[in-house]
Structure 1
Amino acid sequence: MTNIQIRKFRDKDAETVKEIFTLGVSEHVPASFTHMLKQPPTQMVLMCMFCALMASSKSFLLPILAITLLLAGARQLVVYSFNKYIETSLRSDLHNISETYLKQRDSCFWVAESDGRVVGTVCCVPTETAPGCLELKRMSVRRSYRGMGIAKALCRTVADFTRYRGYAAVILHTSVVQTDAQKLYEHMGYQKIRESVVPEVLAKIMNFTLFEYRLDLQQDRKRD
């Protein structure tokens, strides 16, 4: 890894951070759509529709057109779901990053910078669901800068901060379609501790599972 600096977020980074976040989340649409198509209920619906239309129309054309339209509509639903998540995030914690992360106790937001350009992000916050832990969030690296060790450096930055602040562990959540992220976290020593399905109708249909990971740390004295 060359010419990479991990530093705290500055207000001038805001638009770039939002862009990296948006692009990173949008990348998961194709994998999520493919994951939905692999689910038995989805395949059963498509097969039943095809057979019913085939039997009633006595033609291949109508079933094929109907299935094509259904798949196009399903993909748009996946796109809508991800866009809704992006919009919600941009209106909440990413609306004012300094206020959300830098002015709150035991929270921080970092960027990875290469030759003056912000190419990666990560942050951490205390979490009520896991007392004594900080949660790693908003991890994303520009596609053209992946494979350079930036994500690992960002992970280590969060772990070092968590240890310095005296917390016992880092937790994070990633999805079933983020296989590269899962491999990264497991390589960094995280252990998968829980699985859950997102409690939304489309997510349940897709069997869109979230994985919770935990990295236990050797504690240092908590500092102000």
Structure 2
Amino acid sequence: MSDYSIRLYKDSDYQVARDLFAEGLVEHTNIAFKHALRQPQICLPVMAVLTLPALNLVSITMAVLLVTVAVVALWFCSRYMYTSYINYCLSDDMLDIRKYYLQRDGYCFWVAESTGGEVMGTVAALPSTQPGGEKHLELKRLSVAPEHRGKGIAKVLCRTLIDFGRKRGCEAVVLSTTVPQINATRLYEKLGFRQTQTFPHLGLLGKFLDFRFLVYQYDIPAA
């Protein structure tokens, strides 16, 4: 028997839901940083700086210092890609979760709760605004606390949302994620989602870091 259940969001879940969302995203900083560090526009200049001492242009100490400063700045830029989005969402749909998700037709917000009353994970649904997606449901805010991962919670949350879409007559569930969110993409693919699109971040920093978005779609079987 499962040691948790899925239920609708309650106002008492407010802070933990926001914390799970924020912490679940910012933890991808290191993966995003390593991905950016492998890009030619970043790794080649770093390697070039390291060769300067051999050309007697700068000291070894200066070269190491320059590279260290650049790498640290790169890490903070990678983190900023997530923290800026987190701050936006916390003042947008996650500011008043009940009003945004539970008081509008076609929207919903669920939490996974342990038998002891602890909120272990969240997921939200809303009608897709993408062209041609009038009968598509969008999956958002999927997050599971690190200490509760590996229990199938994320999978059950996704299936809860898919069932919600099926009952409403939706034809598909869509979502977007980022390249560094490797575990999430693996989960979606195991559930039957297929990648339909890849597009870069529109900002200059995002393009420099090769911060890309992946779009997935799950076609709901006809009844």
TM-score by length of 1: 0.94
Which residue does the alignment assign to 1:218?
A: 221
Give 5+ residue unaligned stretches, structure 2.
none
Residue 112 of structure 1 contacts residue 118 of structure 1 at CA under 8 Å; is this kept in 2? yes
Give the distance between the partners of 2:49 and 2:82, measured in 1 at CA: 27
* CA distance 1:60–1:100, change in 2 (3 Å): same
Runs of 4+ in 1 over 3 A off after TM superposition: none
8 Å Cα contact 2:32-2:180 kept in structure 1:
yes
Whole-Å Cα distance in 2 between the matches of residues 58 and 36 of structure 1?
A: 26
Partner of 1:118: 119
The one-letter amino acid of 2:94's match is L
Gap runs ≥5 in structure 1: none
Q: Percent identity?
A: 35
Aligned to 2:184: 181
Task: Name the CA distance, whole Å, in 1 between partners of 2:111 and 2:221.
Answer: 25
Q: 1:14 Cα deviation (Å)?
A: 0.5
Deviations 1:126-180 (A, max 9, x none): 0120221000000000000000000000010000000000010000111111111
Check whether the contact 1:54–1:62 (CA below 8 A) recurs between aligned residues: no
Which residue matches 2:206? 203
Q: How far apart, in 2, do the equivalents of 1:53 and 1:202 lie?
A: 29
Residue in structure 1 matched with residue 80 of structure 2 by the alignment: 80
- Deviation per CA, 1:36-58, whole angstroms, max 9, x where unpaired? 00111111121223334653445
Please tell me whether the aligned partners of residues 167 and 219 of structure 1 are also in contact (alpha carbons under 8 angstroms): no
Other-structure match for 1:102: 102
Which position in structure 2 is the counterpart of 1:142?
145
Q: How many residues align?
A: 220
1:167 to 167, 170, 178: 170
Letter of the 2:112 counterpart: A
Structure 2: which amino acid aligns with 1:89? C
Cα RMSD between the aligned structures?
1.4
Matched, 1:51 2:14: no
Taking structure 2 as the reference length, the TM-score comes to: 0.94
